[in-house]
Amino acid sequence: MVAGDREDERGANLIFTYGTLKRGFSNHALMQELMRTGDAALVGTYRTAGKFPLVCGPYRVPFLLNLPGCGQRVRGELYAVSFKGLARMDELEGTARGHYERLPIQLEPQPHDIQVDVDGDGGDGCDDDFVNVTRAEAYYAHSSYAMELWRKNGKKGLSAYTERETRGYVKRKDRPQHLSFLDHIRLFLSD
């Protein structure tokens, strides 16, 4: 893989997963299926190069918000995904229905084996201290409701979606089916 590209050398898209698509979480079955068919491969564990809010919405569903500089550096997994696999992920994430937007993101590998202070400031923890930055894409909460989710969560973000955050998570099949996902989000935000 070439750092700095959003595609690997095989033409696969690099996709950062931070929530239910990660190993051990409820939607990882899709990633396992894509890996079995050769439509995805785990690249490794990564974190965002800059700070972004990661919050929980209705049913403890995780949302990455496209509000750079807010929140924390978010940990997750990076996958190389074929165009066929990407279409399946887009469907799951509801990109055509306004649930999530797939947008660029910059990442760095985790854990850090070597710390490199690229800007000579002594590694002060500011967003300009990067090691091996990789450009990929991630599924962000749709911009039509992202800021409201940030406010609803008290403008506090998570560094990772863990088992603790999944307590109370409700799978799609167990949610009220007479409402759309956007209806669930609107109800959550209006409470």
pLDDT of residue 111: 67
Specify the range with the lowest mean pLDDT, choosing from 11-25, 67-81, 117-131: 117-131
**Three-class DSSP labels, the chain:** CCCCCCECCCCCEEEEECCCCCCCCCCHHHHHHHHHCCCEEEEEEEEECCCECEEECHHHCEEECCCCCCCECCEEEEEEECHHHHHHHHHHHCHHHCCEEEEEEEEEECCCCCCCCCCCCCCCCCCCCCCCCEEEEEEEECCCCHHHHHHHCCCCCCCCCCHHHHCCCCCHHHCCCCCCHHHHHHHHHHC
In the residue annotation, 93 being an active-site residue is answered as: yes
pLDDT of residue 122: 47
Query: How far is residue 79 from each of residues 72, 108, 159, 191, measured CA to CA in Å?
Result: 21, 13, 19, 36
pLDDT of residue 130: 43
pLDDT of residue 31: 98
Which tens digit of pLDDT belongs to each residue from 130-155? 457 799 999 999 999 999 999 999 99
* Interval 177-190 mean pLDDT: 94
pLDDT of residue 123: 47
pLDDT of residue 186: 95
Which tens digit of pLDDT belongs to each residue from 28-50? 999 999 999 999 999 999 999 99
pLDDT of residue 70: 96
* Interval 13-29 mean pLDDT: 96
pLDDT of residue 114: 36
Predicted confidence (pLDDT) at residue 159 exceeds the cutoff of 50: yes
Catalytic residue among 77, 93, 108, 137: 93
Which tens digit of pLDDT belongs to each residue from 61-110? 999 999 999 999 999 999 999 999 999 999 999 999 999 999 999 999 98
Which tens digit of pLDDT belongs to each residue from 72-83? 999 999 999 999
